[in-house]
Amino acid sequence: RFLGKGERRLKKAQRRLSKRVKGSENRKKARVILGKRHLKISRQRKDFAVKLARCVIQSNDCVVYEDLRIKNMVKNHCLAKSINDASWYMFRVWMEYFGKVFGRITIAVPAHGTSQECSSCGTIVKKSLSTRTHTCRCGCVLDRDHNAAKVILSRGLSTAGHVGTWILDPNACGELTATDVEVILHRQVDSANQESPRL
Ligand SMILES: [Zn+2]
């Protein structure tokens, strides 16, 4: 998340826009400034995703992750949430791209129940989001995310056919390309810039 200075400036620009008289030149100017603030944050987000993806790929021979699809994610109407999901997807797309460039294996595995399954014995240990520790009868006690990561890794290593390796023509399989993800992010930024009738 890009908070701090960027978010403060964004909020200020948003406030300024809402105070300007509708249809005025000053309102147009305020809208342009708000758009620039949004654009800067989305660029920072992209830079971060690219750098992190390159780092993760270069320091590992094989990367396994949950196969979360953006199609299911953008149904969520909460803007911050869907931008985060789009950022995550963008990160994944770049990871798969660098995987191809640097010759590393990337595997997307089914995300179903990764936090509920025991990484040691495979038993389903039901837990709510607030339960941060995985405690199984088999004696396996791990941090919730650590356990899920181990489940994801073992699912990846047992996958015969990869589903997440970079596809040469992503559109052929209905997958999104990095540019598509950028378009989605920009579209979200645009819709955030559109004036709400309440203003
Ligand atoms: Zn267990």
pLDDT digits (tens, 9 = 90+) for 104-130: 999 988 888 999 999 999 999 999 888
Selection from 65, 59, 84, 92 nearest residue 167 by Cα: 92
Q: pLDDT band at residue 159, thresholds of 50, 70 and 90?
A: low
Percent over 90 (pLDDT), the chain? 45
Is the pLDDT at 150 greater than 90? The verdict is yes
CA 141 – ligand 1 centroid, Å:
8
Per-residue pLDDT, averaged over 152-176, amounts to 58
CA 131 – ligand 1 centroid, Å:
16
CA 118 – ligand 1 centroid, Å:
5
Per-residue pLDDT, averaged over 189-199, amounts to 43
CA 109 – ligand 1 centroid, Å:
20
Domain chopping of the chain, boundaries: 5-193
Position 172 scores a pLDDT of: 40
Burial state string for 32-59 with b = 16 or more CB within 10 A and e = fewer than 16: ebbbebbeebbeebbeebbeebbebbee
Neighbours of ion ligand 1 (CB under 5 A): 118, 120-121, 123, 136, 138, 140
